[in-house]
Structure 1
Amino acid sequence: MIWHHTGWSNDGKIYNPVDGKACQEFDKRYPEFTNEPRNVRLGLAADGFNPFGNMNQSYSMWPIILTMYNTPPWLCMKESSFMLTLLIPDLKSPTKDIDVFLKPLVEELKMLLDEGVQMRDAATNTIFTMCATLLWTINDYPASSSLSGWSGQELKHNQDAMHVQTNVSKSFVGTLLKNENSKDTQKAREDLENWHIRDNLWLQKNNNKINQPHPNYSFKPIDRERLCEFIKGVKLPDGFGSNFKNKVLPNDSNIIWLKSHDYHILMQRLQPIGVRVVLPTNALTAIIDLCTFFKKICAWTLDVKDMYCLSSRKKVVPECTNELKALTHGPLNAFSYTACIVHGVRFVVYFRELRRTTQNSGGFTLGEDGTPFYGQLAKIIQLNYLSGYSVVLFHCKWFNTSGKRRSVEKNGIVAIDISREWYVGNAWYDGDLYILAAQVKQVFYIQDPSRNGNNWRVMEDVHN
């Protein structure tokens, strides 16, 4: 309950809301509340959904959930930590009437802030007065409009990044594939004409019939099929995302049955790569920047100094200080494996995943001189030493990206030529076949559809 009071970040990065400016400003403004670290800080999440959507029945269900930020990040976002305070059912959204439903909750929150309640601290077996405050709400734009009527100006409204990202990705993919989610509609074209914007996209009337013009960025049927074929062929690591192969229609004309996490993967990982085969160069930068924006704000860690840059490529230091004595005696034995888990990430050797629908063998690391190494895992070896110490080594087959035109980075997307896969002989990496497992960052490779041939792959990180 007092983690937020002791778990501050000291490296200039945001790991938890307690590291953000909003919480720090609150602490300065209300020092009496802050002086008692056991006081509770809450966030309110609200959104509506239709529980009978698959039955085509109009109905609205609004859960109002409180989450507590006193606990560390890995606990406060677990379902077991959520408090379902209200469940608002109705034939339509509560909109302006939501204050009627929220009034009992608001009254209780006021009481907890002004008066508090007597609580017993199980750790110290003492009685204290616990207060609570609602720091902000978490919702999408329609819910924010409904909630703003009762919350006042001081309460912050935070937009649910995942929800907004899902809507943007759904609209973008729908427009690319020209399905029911497309925003390129007759009404949208009429709005452009009414506002005198982009006259080359206005509707044209021929023989009293309205026809869509053929703008420069229109997508030909072959591009639509190629985009679906690209998405269908992607193999993701275990637990990272869905199998998109089963979500593309047999004729490669549409993508169906996508959930929020699917759109999350599409927006941040696949769209920046796939759009390069259906969009001209002058449109790519804007789309890739949009995808990169969502990738950064959804990252596990944000850099305070530069909110638009990920804090990646950290220097990895082998953890061998306490094991040095055992290491000097040499290994007692060694074992070889085909899979292992390192820091919660599952790695599988390359030959084992050939018949799998997922890929977990991709690896990336930086050399001492900053040279990027991209490769795939060939062997996993565990060396056991005295006193129960052990070291896990990865035998990696690095792609030969030295020389010109074998590695390209543009718009934040790294593409490599794997034509010299499993390069042997006088290999440029002969002295670096083995590497500590802790030094490898898992990546996966996606076929680059913007280049001719099958030798080019786009490298994607598993974690931001």
Structure 2
Amino acid sequence: MGHRRWLPPDHIWRRKKNSFNGYEEHRLQPSRVEGEELLEQLRGVSHVQFGKSSLKRKRTPNQLNWTKKSIFFELPYWLDLGLRHNLDIMHIEKNICDNVLGTLLNIDGKTKDSANARRDLANLGLRKELHLQHDGDLLHQLQANIPIILCKLEMIFPPAFFDIMVHLAIHLSEEALLVGLVQYRWMYPFKRYLGKFKMYVRNRAHPEGSIAEAYVHLECLTFCSMYLRDIETRYNREERNSDVVGGSNESGNKPCLSVLSQKVRPLGTASSKKLSDTLMRKAQWEHYNILKEEDPHNIDRRHQNSRLRAIRPSEVTDDIYALACGPDPWVASYAGCIMNGVRFHTKERERHRRTQNSGVVVHGEHHGSPVDFYGVLHDIIELRYMGWHKVYLFSCAWYDVGDPRRGIHVRDHFTIVNTARHMYKDEPFALAAKHCKCFISRT
């Protein structure tokens, strides 16, 4: 960096090599160029191109650090000024603060202590203590650095600062080398468990007795719950994200069609609304395509045979007849559901939440090629048919995955999707059972 040139000539840091660029620094501070000498240097500046240029100017070692001559030198007093340009103090303070805080806090995108920066030091052969190291090497280095840090603190703080807990830090690296990761042997889970028992304290005069009594009661209840079958206990409690078989009817007959037997449990209160004719046709077409995928040669004949229900009822099942009659134009809309043990929320429902359950992905085809469609869930629709049959559809906004240049980039461990570009805006519906949940991180 060359900052040692501003130090006094006899400063000890001028002779330090390993802490800087590997060389001793004997150069003095650059002198200020004033008067006619400055004008003589500016006369040698030629072929000035204003604005940004795509060509990088390669400067030789003997070439002066000038790119153009300022027009202000035409003023008669400009050459005699001691300060011709003010430095921008505001931006200097801001950039130095960003560099220091970003590096100390390891802020992504702002830290200057990156892996590439340390690889550059290794390639230059400088600052070996900052080269990338393996975990074992790092622990050995930490084992050597902790005594040095404690000695530096001992020169600053009074002896009362160094109690037994501060001293124990010197043994942490040795313990990590012997037994490995710390999260399997620290006290945090026990502290949380004791915090739970502190809530059971009723007699503040004897808190230890209350904690012991609460522990005995909890163990007894846990043991007895292993033998209780007719009440809910911690061993037979239903899972939080459990679903139910959708489409079950009152008569107890299980539907034979997949679209009528989705494992979906709606959450919250349903709001009733009427779909437009266009959306209703697209909603019906969506689960019709699913049936066609299951049996492409039989679906049309099954729909035609449903007309014979009035003549020969035994030849047409209740499921086919219900689908042939069509759904109720008034549908139920939900803001959340649980399907196949996975929780889904609409984008509107999680607007003020810190969790995300609205990202969806569906496997399909685009221009004859298999592709994964990524989107965000906007509504959960329940279509109602005769005989208490129900079909659940997700209404989503689909991101553009057809453009590999501006829409989607598939990497090894994640997929980058441009959320500003959408596709299939006129086809928002997809069968709920075909969806999987994905997490969308905005950068």
What TM-score, normalized to structure 1? 0.28
- The structure that is strand-richer by fraction is 1
